Structure 1
Amino acid sequence: MYQQTYDVVIVGAGLSGLQAALTVHHERLSYLVLEARDRVGGKTLTLRSSEGVVKSDLGAAWINDSNQSRMWELAKDLGLHTYVQNTQGDVVVQDFDGKLVKFPYGDVPKYPSQDDTESCISIRDLVEDISTTQMPSIFAAGPHREQLDSISFETFLRQAKVTEKAFATAQVWTHAMLGVDPAEVSALYFLEYCAAGGGLMTMRSDCKDGGQYLRIQEGTAAFAEGMAQRLKPGSIKLDSPVGKIEQQDGTVSISTRGRSPQVYRARKVILSIPTPVYRTIKFSPSLPAAKSGVANHTRYGFYTKYIVRFSKTFWTDRGLCGLGQSFIGPVSVFRDTSLGDDACMTCFIGGRFGRKWAVQDAERKKASVLKQIGDMFADGRDISPLFMEAYESPWMDEEFSGWGCPCPAMPPGVLADGWKALCAPFGNIHFVGTELSTVWRGYMEGAIRSGESGAMQAMAELKAGDQQIAKL
């Protein structure tokens, strides 16, 4: 029986996989997309009501219209509508003793100790300087990379002689950005992660050019849904987790598992799945030791978004913008994610705070978050009468995301020597994903850019191979 051999099979229908498919589609090559879930979008997941009304984004949620040019172009192309993240009002910091420090958005918190204030500014400026300098760039080969990769970000902070309050501030960054404690990630990885987003200040910013500037009224799932509609009908196979990839005689065999296992053949495979998911696939021949060694050392931290809807935005009545950070948890960072009259607050819970919080039952988890919100944004009052509902992101329990979100990180001793091996093709298999991008790594922008570059590389090799055959 005849079995079609596709030019390209893409494994994974997240943003990087869909962009790879679109790039191949535009070149009029044959392709197929295999997706393990029953939906497209990967770690973009929009929660909608039964009537289709957007309630919240449980995964990636923000873009901007300047340095995230690919996402902005895509939003315009798909006719999506954006709205600006609220920054009007004061930011709140919850100190070690529970006391609050308030300051206008864009300013810096003024702590009782001048040493603490200066130390926070100093470490912020040091991380910003290293992550934005071009002479040499942190991405450029050199001894600076090996040195930074030999220590954890915690050691980096201790060597900088920060105060405990400045250390706690930096821990808020790692909790909110990667779900890890400073001891769990190499200094190089965290600083390079910042550099990929244009620097710490840009990544943390909710203003113009920042990582949290614009949200999508239709929900970020609309990106993947719109992209999928532009592919050839029938080219996406849902509920098709891949169990084996075998390379032989210049082609690749891709076997799915589950209730209706299938085998597909391709000249090239683009693997668009998180590195922790690699280990769920049997590769024949096995992945190179250097690649699998690095992939097996990538780790998600503990990271979840706990999203709470209220009957009103009580924080704006108190002159607060809804942005807050805490040194005691369980929530490390809060953001106002309301849309119109729908009052909503997104709580980022990560690292050791998150692991401690997660062992409670659902009611205690909710109660602890509501108490913290009341303490920080409602003058300590009971806000439970204003509570409507809460929902938690599913990533920690999902196999096909690698049991985590938003981006796998690396401990000391992996990145400096392992980056090239992690990104390199293996035979006719090419690897893409936001974690493999050097621009906006961990963000939707990084996913789109990686998917396109991986597809271009695969197609260039196909073209070169065809030209070689034509000469024979």
Structure 2
Amino acid sequence: MVSVEGSGRTIRTSGQVAQRSDGTWPSSMAEQIQQAVTNLETVLKAAGAFPRDIVHLRFYVVDWDISKANDLVTTILALLTDKYGATNTPLTTLVPVTKLAFPEASFEIEAIASAGNASRPWIPDRDMIHKASISAVSTTTVETDVIVVGGGFSGVMAAYELNQAGYSVIVLEAKHRIGGRSRSQRLKTNPDAIVELGATWINEKTQPTIYALTKRFGLKTEAQHTEGDQIYQGYDGKIYRCDMNQNHNENAQHVQKFVNLLDEAAEKCNIRTFDEFPEAEDVTMAEWVAQKGLADNPAVTATCRLLCSAVVGREPEEIGAHYFLDYIKSSYGYVSVVSEGDEGAQSLKIKTGTSSIVDALANTLPSGSVMLHSPVDSISQYTDNEVHVTTSSGTIYKAKKVIMAIPTNTYVNIQFTPPLPSAKKALVTRTKPGVYAKAILTYSSPWWREVGLLGKFESVIGPICFSWDVSDISKKQYSLAIFVAGRVATEWHKLDELAREEAIIEHLATLVGETSSLADKARNILEFNMVEWTKEEYIGGAPTSVLGPGMLKKYGAVLREPVGNIHFGGGETAYEWKGYMEGAITAGQRAAKEVVDRLATQD
């Protein structure tokens, strides 16, 4: 048993004796000491602590004599020395006693673990649902083969691959949880149901790597709901109800021409060689539309604006055409990006949440390999095979290689010694994170399905930009995922929290008919959950980061190029499926392979 006191979390364990899980007891003192210490480790781990967090140990020993000292010291020293050689030296007290509460017990141990605002180890399962508390780590130097900066899909996948290859690895995650832009959360009103406040969908056919992981870890998937009509609000405020095959405005011919031109240009992009893109078209997306003679059509410009903000979270005036077309190509084309079904990017959901994928990967790593609340302050390269990474808690991690698996725009929070090369710095300072938010509206019934609606609402006016039905009927969970993006999100962010919530709900009521009974149902929310990814510390935006005109051709190769012992992963560095979990996973694999290949030549 443990008790937790105060905002700083002082963890106090009750006396741990040597009783085994089956109720039996070891006979010798040495075995009792070992079993009691094992039981203590289990209790600490359950409380979110680690042996290195211990500040005081108290031993109760029946019929103590000095001959028992070696068994005690050896076992306790092993407890306090982690796999990297760092040794904790807490205060210890030994109390000789004539007997303990259990007649079979010869040894009992109590511990106090101090919790502050420094790093703590990731614990399976708990982090997906609750913010686990923070435990202190002594400021010492910890040695390992590879440091991975960032505990998102890319970073944890890289760590998994390195561990499989036989290398020791530590993942440093700045936040209280792993998963990056994925965040699975249980509903308060239905604890059996899980909703996604971040990345949500995968595809069996076009995203084989992440789908294979779901199979490897026995995770069940469910097809995205695809039946019903969608609601679309055009640039003029008019609202249309249409099936998925109907055109929803009178300018449909011009919009279709824009989509065709977009797909044709994207298909011509070489997603691995960036200098082939036509220089004359290396302009902003807004200028590219003008070059195609479509800028005078308000339906086309509105469609382009909605598409750009929905896909990468930025406006056409901010996005380089080369970058955007490359992004569309990397995601298997326009239809794939915007659709559901077997060929769509929104094809399958993970029944236990997308975070269960990254949790499963992390759970294969040795205990203590993933450190939470560990923002990196500096990375210093000393020799051809030595890098020091210092976290905000003062802990220094010494490694042969480092993999950066955080958003490119967040590199500015880290001091590099020597500094990053000028081209890499130029790339970092010119990368813009997507302006994005996601809200989950949960209801007591799927009222939209009951009237033949798909749950897909789109508007070029906002604040709702687009949505999907993310219900799990088997768990009686009926939810809509609402996305707010780009310029619309920038204005919406300025509202206070309740006003932001009200704006979304009232817009949904408008889209289904303000005076209809559906509007009342839209307002009758059972639970409202929201994440403003633009405001997320250590991330700064979603679903990816954006480059302006000319930047991809100039810095595309630099994006992935190692700098000495520092290698670069993260979803933005993927060749295919940038901004998606598949891209993050494959980018982590690529970075890990680079490191394994380098280390193999140095060993």
* TM-score (normalizing by structure 1): 0.92
Secondary structure of residue in 1 paired with 2:144: strand
Q: 1:156 aligns with which of 288, 302, 305?
A: 288
Report the AA paired with residue 434 of structure 1: G
Report the AA paired with residue 288 of structure 1: P
Secondary structure of residue in 1 paired with 2:255: helix
Q: 2:458 aligns with which of 322, 325, 345?
A: 325
Report the counterpart of residue 37 of structure 2 in structure 1: none
Offset, 1:386: 2.2
1:247 aligns with 2:381: yes
Report the AA paired with residue 103 of structure 1: C
Q: Which runs of 5+ in 1 are unaligned?
A: 467-472
Q: 2:477 aligns with which of 331, 342, 345?
A: 342
Q: 1:405 aligns with which of 542, 549, 554?
A: 542
Q: 2:559 aligns with which of 413, 422, 430?
A: 422
- Determine the C-alpha separation between the residues in 1 that align with 2:515 and 2:428: 45
The answer to whether the 8 A contact 1:253-1:264 is kept is: yes
Offset, 1:365: 1.9
Q: 2:204 aligns with which of 56, 59, 65?
A: 65
Q: 1:34 aligns with which of 172, 176, 192?
A: 172
- Determine the C-alpha separation between the residues in 1 that align with 2:191 and 2:477: 15
- Determine the C-alpha separation between the residues in 1 that align with 2:378 and 2:497: 37
- Determine the C-alpha separation between the residues in 1 that align with 2:537 and 2:576: 26
The answer to whether the 8 A contact 1:130-1:138 is kept is: no
1:223 aligns with 2:223: no
1:282 aligns with 2:415: yes
Secondary structure of residue in 1 paired with 2:388: strand
After superposing the two structures, state which structure 1 stretch, 430-439 or 140-149, moved more. Answer: 140-149
Q: 1:102 aligns with which of 220, 241, 245?
A: 241
Report the AA paired with residue 27 of structure 1: A
The answer to whether the 8 A contact 1:5-1:267 is kept is: no
- Determine the C-alpha separation between the residues in 2 that align with 1:364 and 1:240: 34
Secondary structure of residue in 2 paired with 1:448: helix
Report the AA paired with residue 316 of structure 1: R
The answer to whether the 8 A contact 2:205-2:343 is kept is: yes
Secondary structure of residue in 2 paired with 1:277: helix
The answer to whether the 8 A contact 1:153-1:182 is kept is: yes
The answer to whether the 8 A contact 1:85-1:215 is kept is: yes
- Determine the C-alpha separation between the residues in 2 that align with 1:60 and 1:16: 13
Secondary structure of residue in 2 paired with 1:212: coil
Cα gap change, 1:292 to 1:215, in 2 (>3 Å): same
Offset, 1:67: 1.0
Offset, 1:361: 2.1
- Determine the C-alpha separation between the residues in 2 that align with 1:386 and 1:37: 34
Report the counterpart of residue 321 of structure 2 in structure 1: 187
Report the AA paired with residue 257 of structure 2: S
Identity %: 31
Give runs of aligned pairs for residues 75-114 of structure 1, distance below 5 A: 75-105=214-244, 107-111=245-249, 113=250
Report the counterpart of residue 470 of structure 1 in structure 2: none
1:386 aligns with 2:518: no
Cα gap change, 1:52 to 1:76, in 2 (>3 Å): farther
Q: Map Cα deviations across residues 352-385 of structure 1 (whole Å, 9 max, x no partner).
A: 1111222222232222222221222356433355
After superposing the two structures, state which structure 1 stretch, 423-432 or 405-414, moved more. Answer: 405-414
| Paired residue total | 456
Cα gap change, 1:52 to 1:236, in 2 (>3 Å): farther
Greater relative contact order (Cα < 8 A, sep 6+):
1
Offset, 1:64: 0.8
Offset, 1:10: 1.0
Report the AA paired with residue 224 of structure 2: Q
Q: Which runs of 5+ in 2 are unaligned?
A: 1-84, 87-140
Offset, 1:296: 1.0
Runs of 4+ in 1 over 6 A off after TM superposition: none
Report the AA paired with residue 297 of structure 1: R
Secondary structure of residue in 2 paired with 1:53: coil
Report the counterpart of residue 19 of structure 2 in structure 1: none
* TM-score (normalizing by structure 2): 0.73
Offset, 1:236: 1.2
- Determine the C-alpha separation between the residues in 2 that align with 1:100 and 1:49: 31
Q: 2:310 aligns with which of 170, 176, 180?
A: 176
- Determine the C-alpha separation between the residues in 2 that align with 1:446 and 1:314: 35
Secondary structure of residue in 2 paired with 1:29: coil
Report the AA paired with residue 444 of structure 2: S
Report the AA paired with residue 499 of structure 2: R
Secondary structure of residue in 1 paired with 2:277: helix
Report the AA paired with residue 389 of structure 1: E
The answer to whether the 8 A contact 1:54-1:219 is kept is: no
Offset, 1:391: 1.6
- Determine the C-alpha separation between the residues in 1 that align with 2:214 and 2:178: 17
1:144 aligns with 2:277: yes
Offset, 1:32: 1.4
